Every structure is written in C-alpha cells, then in structure tokens.
C-alpha cells in the first residue's frame, strides 16, 4: 500500500467523521461519562514499523474490554489451550457484553470476550498473590506497547464500587466451580486491566504486534508466544464485537475488539494494526466513528480476509 495514499485517506476519514454526532458516552461506569465526545484519533502501524496517524492519537483513555484479548493470550501461555478451554469456551453468545449467561451443560462462560468469560480468564493468571499477578499482567501489556503503562485510579475505583453486575457473574461462576474462591482478587485484577491507560497509537502497536505473529514491530521484542496468536485472533474475529460480531465479520472481515471508553483495535494479519479512539458508542458498546472508519478502510484497501 502506498504510504501517502494511506495517510491522505486517514486525514479524509478524520475530516469526514469528525462532525458526526451519533452515539452516546458509556455512563454505567460513572467516570467514563466525563469523556469529551469530540475526541477522535486514528493510528495505523504496519508490521515493518511505519506509523500513520491523525487527530487525537495521543489522548489517553482506559483500554477496557480491548484488554480481554491480551489477557486471554496470557492465560493460554500460563496454562495451555486444553486447560483454558475447560474454563472458558470459544462460542459467540449473540448477546451483549455484560449478559449474565453461562453454557447450560458445561457451566463455562461462552467466550473470553464477554465480561463473564473475561473475568474467568483473568482468574487464571498465575502469581503468588495479587501484586505478583498485577505485575505479570503489566509486564505482558508493556511488551505489547513497548513502554510503561499506568492504571487510571478514578476509573478503577469507579468500576470497583459500581461493578455489581460483574460481581454477580463472578459469584455465579464461583457457584459452579468455574473460578476459585478468591473472586474479589480476580475482580480487582479484571477492573485493573480494564483501567489501563493507552492512546490509539498504543492500540495500533498492540494490534500490529498480533499482525506480526507476536513480535512488537517497533521495539522488535516478542510479546506473546506465536502459538497463541491464532487463538487470540480467532476469538476476536468471532466474538470481539459481541452481538454485532457476525455483521462485523461480514462487512469489515477482520479480527477486532472494542471497549466502552471508545477504543477500537483491529488486526490486519501480516500487514498492520489499526487503533481508533472516539468515545460515543453504538447500542453494542462500540465506537460509532470507529466502526465507520473500519468499514471504509476495509473497503478502500480490500482488507476483508475473504
Ligand atoms: O466490565 C466492564 O463492563 C468494563 N470494564 C468493560 C466493558 C467493555 O469495554 C465492553 N466493550 N465494549
């Protein structure tokens, strides 16, 4: 792909969707309702380390559900595919991200992208206690972004004090023996992973690392075992957009993951990573401007996998 053409197209998309007023800010986590609906950034990082960006690409926001894909990779590295599959499935739910539903026969949460599955996945992270688990998780994310990351404490506290629905899911899974007894520790780690601050350039580098078979194209270090990149991308492709996953796969045709603070991460395998940030959300909890930009990028450059 010719680079001036890509940069020009990003500028064009930014201009086109900047004035869009659709979507609403997430408010079930009170801190997220303080976001500026005009924030809008796009960044693309190629597997050979070139960066294209426009708008508010340095604005920090919390990673939220986008973290789930990466923690899933870590759980796979900690336990292997077979064990992780006994604790969390890989089946799309067709339901929203926070639906309180487990697979009737196995009692597993359906997949690692919905909240229930993500909490179960986070509970698998190894470590001698909460501090070691958090440090290991931060190390993992830092390998993907290539620099230190910090937790947004107001968002963390906001989620921790209001996250009763997530707490209910954890109790349900505890009841069925799907997670161990230390559910408050697992929930804290889950709320911490969701409260990590990133910008859309970070998202693009993380996505480019997955596109590059697990090696960060900027710092050239391995972030994840290449054996598990396929698993991460598959669940992103089939479940990353929750009850919009089918339409997303049909129209955009790429593994993607959204977060309620307005981040969107998309992987173009072997080619590039895309990171978009714009807080107003659609009814599925995904960035409205982000979805439009992805559709247009996929169409313009023929990025659909099939
Ligand atoms: O647990 C939650 O509800 C949030 N921390 C994350 C949800 C989320 O980002 C859903 N994605 N669009």
3-state secondary structure 232-274: HHHHHHHHCCHHHHHHHHHHCCCCEEECCCCEEEEEECCCEEE
Which positions ≥6 away from 242 have C-beta within 8 Å?
93, 95, 96, 97, 113, 114, 284, 285
CA atoms of 29 and 141, how far apart (whole Å)? 23
Q: Whose CA is nearest to atom 12 of ligand 1?
A: 259
Given a contact cutoff of 8 angstroms between Cβ atoms, the answer to whether 178 and 87 are in contact is yes
Has domain 66-194 been given CATH number 3.20.20.80? no
Q: Residue 134: its pLDDT value, please?
A: 98
Cβ neighbours of residue 172 closer than 8 Å, sequence gap 6 or more: 100, 102, 116
Distance separating the N- and C-terminal Cα atoms of the chain: 18
CA–CA separation, 152 and 50 (whole Å): 29
Q: Do domains 3-64+197-301 and 66-194 have the same CATH topology?
A: yes
Q: Are 242 and 252 in contact (CB under 8 A)?
A: no
| Residue 3 pLDDT | 82
What burial letters (b/e) apply to 38-66, b meaning 16+ CB within 10 Å? ebbbbbbbbbeeebbbbbbbebebbbbbb
Q: What is the pLDDT along the chain (306 residues), one digit of tens a residue?
A: 668 899 999 999 999 999 999 999 999 999 999 999 999 999 999 999 999 999 999 999 999 999 999 999 999 999 999 999 999 999 999 999 999 999 999 999 999 999 999 999 999 999 999 999 999 999 999 999 999 999 999 999 999 999 999 999 999 999 999 998 899 999 999 999 999 999 999 999 999 999 999 999 999 999 999 999 999 999 999 999 999 999 999 999 999 999 999 999 999 999 999 999 999 999 999 999 999 999 999 999 999 999
pLDDT at 181: 80
Residue 61's H or E segment, with its range, is strand 61-62
Closest residue CA from atom 2 of ligand 1? 115
Which ligand 1 atom is the nearest neighbour of the CA of 284?
A: 12
pLDDT for position 259: 98
Ligand 1 centroid–CA 113 distance in Å is 9
Q: Give residues (CB < 6 A) around ligand 1.
A: 64-65, 97-98, 115, 159, 166, 194, 258-260, 285-286
What integer pLDDT is reported at residue 2 of this predicted model?
A: 63
Written out in words, the top-level CATH class of the domain with range 3-64+197-301 is alpha beta
Please state the domain extents for the chain: 3-64+197-301, 66-194
Check if the beta carbon of residue 62 is closer than 8 Å to that of residue 195.
yes
pLDDT at 1: 64
Helix (H/G/I), strand (E/B), else coil: 281: strand
Residues serving a catalytic function are: 65, 68, 190, 242, 260
């Amino acid at each position: 792909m010719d680079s001036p053409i890509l940069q020009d197209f990003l500028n064009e998309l930014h201009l086109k969707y900047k004035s869009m007023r659709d979507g609403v800010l997430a408010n079930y986590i009170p801190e997220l309702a303080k976001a500026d609906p005009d924030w809008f950034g796009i960044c693309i990082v190629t597997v050979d380390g070139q960066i294209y960006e426009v708008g508010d690409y340095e604005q920090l926001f919390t990673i939220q559900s986008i973290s789930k894909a990466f923690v899933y990779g870590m759980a796979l590295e900690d336990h292997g595919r077979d064990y992780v599959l006994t604790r969390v499935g890989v089946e799309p739910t067709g339901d929203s991200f926070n639906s309180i539903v487990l697979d009737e026969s196995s009692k597993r949460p359906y997949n690692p992208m919905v909240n229930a599955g993500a909490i179960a996945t986070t509970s698998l992270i190894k470590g001698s206690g909460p501090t070691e688990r958090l440090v290991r998780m931060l190390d993992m994310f830092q390998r993907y972004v290539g620099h230190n990351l910090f937790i947004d404490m107001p968002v963390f506290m906001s989620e921790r004090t209001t996250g009763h629905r997530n707490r209910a899911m954890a109790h349900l899974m505890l009841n069925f023996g799907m997670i161990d007894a230390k559910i408050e520790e697992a929930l804290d780690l889950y709320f911490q992973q969701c409260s990590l601050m990133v910008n859309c350039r970070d998202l693009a580098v993380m996505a480019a690392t997955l596109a590059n078979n697990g090696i960060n194209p900027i710092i050239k270090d391995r972030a994840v075992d290449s054996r598990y990149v396929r698993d991460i991308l598959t669940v992103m492709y089939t479940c990353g957009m929750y009850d919009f996953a089918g339409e997303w796969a049909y129209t955009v045709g790429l593994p993607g993951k959204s977060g309620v603070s307005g981040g969107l991460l998309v992987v173009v395998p072997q080619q590039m990573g895309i990171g978009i940030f714009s807080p107003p959300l659609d009814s599925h909890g995904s960035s409205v401007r982000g979805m439009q930009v992805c559709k247009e990028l996929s169409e313009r450059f023929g990025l659909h996998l099939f």
